[in-house]
């Protein structure tokens, strides 16, 4: 199967060049022909007026939490988790998680996202939805050491790795998901490190989300959550850490040394009043920072372009420096750096030999006029309704802003049905 994306503006090597062509063979980008013949291709996508970008990456989700979208807002993180979310999550089942995951995936595809990192449970159902939908994902079973299911969850994560890692044409990878320092005591982290190490799996966790978390860990263990996790060997697995709002210079130095990648979730951090992560310092030190939405219940959507805008805005105000997180930096977080966060080595760039995960953004909206700098327009003016075409692993999932494979009415109906079922059980 050969596809041509014709006469498109191409984002490559951090610059945008007009009137380029992209050739895709099966699941891979195979070149940028200068005078392609339409007859040589099975499918030709007209790229005129579009901007081609590496597919967007959502580096931190709890995907089935779509069911809790706007269910418990305006609360403190710990109150929200302990009083509302965890009791409700106790009633989740496979059916609900599958339907709500499908909803979340559809929303992400509509917003240009081609891969996401998830931490949740009923992960077999999440994986089935990823497989069926055509999106790419790095999935982890959320692990909490303080709950009665601690050992069972760890066992599930191991089984989940063996069953799903590398499956769905390589679109699914599996990580381990130790939830956070306040739910995973040191001994449990050690067990996770050992289990992940045996399988060669990476880890996805929450770190330094709130000031309260850091204060209580320092009080309990005499060191910061970052220093504690480093000592326990968590970073030696290869680690994606969500939030990292409350990290200091010493923490960041550890993160640089250990190659910790950060999922920056500006929307969630703002809504839950967690604070503002020192992203400008992380970038300066060379830490890989991607963007995440977090669950739909703390955001309340899965629109990664919105996170890009927030990232491009809030750090300027916070540091009183309009030069931090410039347009290209924000775009890079949503694409190349995001892919690196998920541990991908052949995704995140539009280059020959890379996987064909491509998002085309339509530049015909009035907010794209007059046609000044496209990078700047993308970072500061565009919105996700501009996303026109989404390709994952060489397959078109959205075209002309319409889904090509998913039955959206059915997905909405299933989301409603399973929400009713869950809430009637509460
Ligand atoms: N302990 C659960 C699984 C945990 S999955 C990951 C957890 O992270 C929770 N979560 C969602 N957003 C946040 C956040 O911002 N900070 C901390 N936890 C969150 C989410 O509700 C979910 O319970 C079990 O096996 O029963
Ligand atoms: Zn989270």
**CA-derived radius of gyration, the chain:** 21
Binding-site residue set: 60, 62, 89, 141, 179, 206, 209, 294
pLDDT value at residue 15: 96
| Cβ of 179 below 6 Å from ligand 1 | yes
Ligand nearest to the CA of 298: 1
Q: What spacing in Å lies between the alpha carbon of 209 and ligand 2's midpoint?
A: 9
pLDDT value at residue 315: 98
pLDDT digits (tens, 9 = 90+) for 344-403: 999 999 999 999 999 999 999 999 999 999 999 999 999 999 999 999 999 999 999 999
Q: What spacing in Å lies between the alpha carbon of 82 and ligand 2's midpoint?
A: 14
pTM: 0.98
Listing DSSP states for 320-351 in one string gives T-TTSS-HHHHHHHHTHHHHHHTT-SS-SS--
How far is 384 from 372, CA to CA, in rounded Å?
Answer: 19
Listing DSSP states for 144-206 in one string gives -TTSTTHHHHHHHHHHHHHHHTTTTTTTEEEEEEE--TTTS-HHHHHHHHHHHHHHT--EEEE
Residue 118 pLDDT class (50, 70, 90 cuts): very high
* CA distances to 70, 160, 219, 393, 397 from 407, in Å: 24, 27, 51, 20, 11
User: Which residue lies with its CA nearest to atom 1 of ligand 1?
Assistant: 144
* Ligand 1 nearest atom to the CA of residue 120, by list position: 5
| Cβ of 206 below 6 Å from ligand 1 | yes
Write down the residue that tokens 């966790």 correspond to: 205
Kindly indicate whether the ipTM for this predicted assembly is greater than 0.90, answering yes or no. yes
Give every CB contact of residue 190 below 8 A, 6+ residues apart in sequence.
232, 233
| Cβ of 298 below 6 Å from ligand 1 | yes
User: Which residue lies with its CA nearest to atom 22 of ligand 1?
Assistant: 120
| Cβ of 85 below 6 Å from ligand 1 | yes
pLDDT value at residue 426: 87
CB 353 within 8 A of CB 17: no
User: Which residue lies with its CA nearest to atom 8 of ligand 1?
Assistant: 179
Percent of the chain with pLDDT over 90: 99
pLDDT digits (tens, 9 = 90+) for 152-199: 999 999 999 999 999 999 999 999 999 999 999 999 999 999 999 999
Ligand nearest to the CA of 65: 1
Give every CB contact of residue 48 below 8 A, 6+ residues apart in sequence.
6, 7, 8
- In the chain the domains, ranked by start, together with CATH numbers, are 2-54+354-403 (2.30.40.10), 56-341 (3.20.20.140)
* Ligand 1 nearest atom to the CA of residue 265, by list position: 15
CB 209 within 8 A of CB 245: yes
| Cβ of 152 below 6 Å from ligand 1 | no
CB 240 within 8 A of CB 175: yes
Binding-site residue set for Zn(2+): 60, 62, 206, 294
Q: What spacing in Å lies between the alpha carbon of 46 and ligand 1's midpoint?
A: 42
Tokens, residue 272: 């839950």
Q: What spacing in Å lies between the alpha carbon of 251 and ligand 1's midpoint?
A: 24
pLDDT value at residue 282: 98
Q: What spacing in Å lies between the alpha carbon of 420 and ligand 1's midpoint?
A: 21
Cis peptide, bond prior to residue 116, ω within 30 of zero? no
Indicate the top mutation candidate among 65, 93, 295 to test ligand 1's pocket, ranked by most ligand atoms within 8 A of CB: 295
CB 57 within 8 A of CB 339: yes
CB 103 within 8 A of CB 412: yes
Mean pLDDT of the chain: 98
pLDDT digits (tens, 9 = 90+) for 254-299: 999 999 999 999 999 999 999 999 999 999 999 999 999 999 999 9
Q: Evaluate if residue 221 carries a pLDDT over 90.
A: yes
Q: What spacing in Å lies between the alpha carbon of 62 and ligand 2's midpoint?
A: 6
* Ligand 1 nearest atom to the CA of residue 153, by list position: 25
Calculate mean pLDDT across residues 299-323.
98
Q: Evaluate if residue 414 carries a pLDDT over 90.
A: yes
């Amino acid at each position: 199967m050969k596809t041509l994306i014709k006469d498109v503006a191409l984002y490559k090597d951090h610059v945008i060049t007009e009137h380029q062509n992209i050739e895709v063979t099966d699941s891979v980008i195979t070149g940028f022909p200068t005078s392609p013949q339409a007859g040589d291709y099975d499918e030709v996508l007209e790229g005129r007026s579009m901007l081609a970008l590496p597919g967007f990456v959502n580096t931190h989700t709890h995907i089935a939490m779509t069911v809790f979208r706007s269910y418990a807002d305006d609360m403190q993180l710990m109150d929200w988790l302990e009083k509302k979310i965890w009791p409700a999550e106790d009633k989740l089942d496979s059916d609900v998680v599958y339907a709500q995951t499908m909803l979340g995936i559809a929303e992400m595809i509509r917003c240009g996202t081609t891969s996401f990192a998830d931490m949740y449970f009923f992960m077999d159902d999440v994986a089935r939805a990823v497989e069926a939908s055509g999106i790419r994902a790095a999935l982890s079973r959320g692990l909490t050491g303080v709950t009665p299911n601690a050992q069972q969850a760890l066992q599930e994560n191991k089984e989940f790795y063996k069953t799903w890692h590398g499956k769905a044409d390589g679109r699914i990878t599996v990580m381990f998901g130790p939830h956070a320092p306040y739910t995973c005591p040191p001994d449990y982290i050690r067990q996770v490190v050992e289990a992940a190490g045996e399988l060669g799996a990476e880890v996805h966790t929450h770190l330094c989300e709130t000031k309260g978390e850091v204060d209580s860990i320092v009080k309990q263990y005499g060191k910061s959550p970052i220093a504690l996790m480093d000592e326990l060997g968590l970073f030696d697995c290869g680690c994606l850490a969500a939030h990292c709002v409350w990290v200091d210079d010493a923490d960041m130095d550890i993160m640089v040394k250990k190659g910790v990648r950060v999922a920056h979730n500006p929307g969630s951090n703002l809504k839950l009043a967690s604070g503002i992560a020192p992203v400008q310092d992380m970038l300066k030190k060379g830490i890989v920072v991607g963007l995440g939405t977090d669950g739909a219940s703390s955001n309340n959507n899965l629109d990664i372009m919105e996170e890009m805008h927030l990232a491009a805005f809030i750090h300027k105000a916070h540091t009183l420096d309009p030069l931090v997180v410039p347009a290209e930096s924000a775009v890079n977080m949503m694409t190349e750096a995001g892919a690196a966060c998920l541990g991908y080595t052949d995704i995140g760039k539009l280059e020959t030999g890379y996987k064909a995960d491509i998002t085309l953004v339509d530049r015909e909206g009035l907010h794209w006029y007059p046609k000044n700098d496209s990078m700047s327009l993308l970072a500061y003016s565009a919105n996700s309704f501009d996303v026109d075409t989404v390709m994952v692993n060489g397959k078109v999932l959205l075209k002309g802003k319409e889904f090509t494979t998913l039955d959206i009415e059915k997905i909405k109906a299933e989301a409603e049905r399973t929400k009713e079922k869950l809430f009637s059980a509460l």
